[in-house]
Amino acid sequence: MTRAAGVAIVTGASRGIGRAIAAGLAATGYRIVLSYRDRAQQANDLVTKIRAAGGEAVPVRADVGQPAEADALVRAALDAFGHVDVLVNNAGVHLPGVPLVAVRWEEWERLLRVNLSGPLRLIQAVIPHMRERKRGHIVNISSNVSQRLPAGNGPYTVSKVGLEALTRILAKEEGPHGIRVNAIAPGPIRTDMLEESLEVMGSERAEAFIRSVPLGRTGQPEEIASVVAFLVSDAASYITGQVIYVNGGGPGG
């Protein structure tokens, strides 16, 4: 894969999948604007590592569930580097183990703001600049819960189903402007979020869940990052409006 020379915003980049995506894109030559909400030290550590390897990166604190902060994140990227080539909507929150009828309204609204409304707000902010340059890439990080529709994970699942619909519609609307839009739906990837979900399941159910993956293991964040790097490369120039499942064959639980 040839080295890029663009600018990428990666949300939720202080840990887990987002951190791996930011590091992976930096390794291919992208200048990175990485957003975080609470983990300033982890975000700054990643910036230091990217710069030490010869790359460019800036950290921006932003709660993408707040429209003004989402807008400010895009402005910060434009101020730092002049344009945006890639937007990776990775930031997300979940609420495992709570039946839909028991979800508090404020929890429902917060989750949808971060997981669905936040990505749309960021997209609306970057699209005019991408249209001006007649090119751009948007990658939305979904989840394979959109296929499984598991009980006890309703708000998160609804948000990801919505994100995938947004992806497909946006790809049709923005394709004529040279902008490609895709989503990645990870299966169980070894992150803090997965650990929290497995803890809610209990050890027996959690072990059965992992065993149900045909490849027999959880994935690593870097395995998602490599697919992001592919989707924003010229090698994927005819791919848009797709949801790529990176899930070891799909958990059965």
Catalytic residue annotation:
156
Look at the block and give the residue holding tokens 């982890």: 42
- At 244 the three-state DSSP class reads strand
Q: List the one residue out of 156, 29, 145, 20 whose CA is nearest residue 88.
A: 20
- Give the relative orientation of helices 118-133 and 67-81 as an angle to the nearest 10 degrees: 30
Residue 49 to residues 91, 101, 200: CA-CA distances in angstroms? 21, 45, 34
**What's the CA gap between 48 and 41, in Å, rounded?**
10
Question: How many CA atoms within 13 Å lie on the side-chain side of 81?
Answer: 22
